[in-house]
Amino acid sequence: MVIKVIVVGAKGKMGSQVIKGLTEADDMKVIGAVDINNVGEDLGITIHQKLLGITIHNDLEKLLQQLTPDVIVDFTRKESAMHNINVALKKGVSVVVGTTGFSEEDLTDLDKSAKNSGVGLFIAPNFSLGAVMMIKCAQEVSKYFFQSEIIEYHNDKKVDSPSGTALATAQALAGKEGKNKESNDKSPCRGGEYGRTRIHSVRLNSLVAHQEVIFSGLGELLTIRHDTFSREAFMPGILLALRKVRDFQGLKIGLENIL
């Protein structure tokens, strides 16, 4: 069965990679694209250097009056994503989201909306399989090492800080009781303290996505590091999410929960 997909944020760095990856997958078909840039242009011009017969729109709600996708995938910013997700859920369309920065209240509301619509909503702070394994390894190590810090490195165009992956890692290390304990410390580093783990955020234009989790023991350090050098690394996780999001109702967060 071919899964029909609308990509929102289609002209962004991740959106462009998603378009490319979907057009190369036998069971996926891009039927629509939404972006605030290059409206009216054929989607394939700057991505594949050939026409795809898909015109870029700037209004998801209007596009859904014309098309019937199986899934919508969103890689935009938090404010835009909240609007897009709610539009899709009201239409009864499942959504896969790579946008981060949602509050606990946002997530609760989105979960309720998805359940009311009887469709699935999947959000991941990171679609890299390696990043998921990094978090799992760090969570295991945290049972034996009781001091830890996270250093995350991303492109300087990334809006949120700390990254969603860093927050997910800190939350996994802290457990449920430490999930929302953000420090008021105003130290010069980007980031903050979550549970018992301090996060440092680096933003430089040559970076993609990288993270170190550093554990301190008695007279020793243990470092777990993951590096993403190309956005292609996210495609296996995105394809997995697109294939599975229609199998459940409500919100699921994190690739580890659908592996």
Three-state SS for the chain is CCEEEEEECCCCHHHHHHHHHHHCCCCEEEEEEECCCCCCCECHHHHCCCCCCCEEECCHHHHCCCCCCCEEEECCCHHHHHHHHHHHHHCCCEEEECCCCCCHHHHHHHHHHHHHHCCEEEECCCCCHHHHHHHHHHHHHCCCCCEEEEEEEECCCCCCCCCHHHHHHHHHHHCHHHCCCECCCCCCCEEEEECCEEEEEEECCCCCEEEEEEEEECCEEEEEEEEECCHHHHHHHHHHHHHHHHHCCEEEECHHHCC
- Say whether 210 is catalytic: no
What pLDDT digit, counting tens, does each position of 124-172 carry?
A: 989 999 999 999 999 999 999 989 999 999 999 888 889 889 989 999 9
Is pLDDT of 45 > 90?
no
Q: Using DSSP, state whether 206 is helix, strand or coil.
A: coil
pLDDT, tens digit, for every residue of 80-107?
A: 999 999 999 999 999 999 988 899 999 9
Label residue 210 by pLDDT band (50, 70, 90).
very high
Alpha helix ranges (H) inside 76-149: 78-90, 104-117, 129-141
158 is catalytic: yes
- From the list 11, 57, 154, 210, the catalytic residue is 154
Q: Between 187 and 137, name the one with better pLDDT.
A: 137
All structural domains of the chain? 3-123+232-257 (3.40.50.720), 129-228 (3.30.360.10)
Q: Assign 177 a pLDDT band (cuts: 50, 70, 90).
A: very low
The reported pTM is 0.83
Supply the mean pLDDT for the chain: 90
pLDDT band at 185 (very low <50, low <70, confident <90, very high): very low
pLDDT at site 48? 63
Annotated catalytic residue, options 4, 78, 91, 158: 158
Percent pLDDT > 90 in the chain is 75
Report the distance separating Cα 172 and Cα 174, nearest Å: 6
Q: What is the mean pLDDT of residues 190-198?
A: 81
Confidence of residue 179 (pLDDT cuts 50, 70, 90): very low
CB 232 within 8 A of CB 21: yes
pLDDT, greater one: 157 or 237: 237
pLDDT tens-digit readout, 139-149: 999 999 989 99
| pLDDT value at 12 more than 60 | yes
Q: What is the pLDDT of residue 44?
A: 82
- pLDDT of 175 reads 76
pLDDT score of 178 more than 80:
no
Is residue 50 predicted with pLDDT exceeding 80? no
Question: Higher model confidence: residue 81 or residue 193?
Answer: 81
Average pLDDT score over residue span 224-250: 96
Query: What pLDDT does 158 receive?
Result: 86
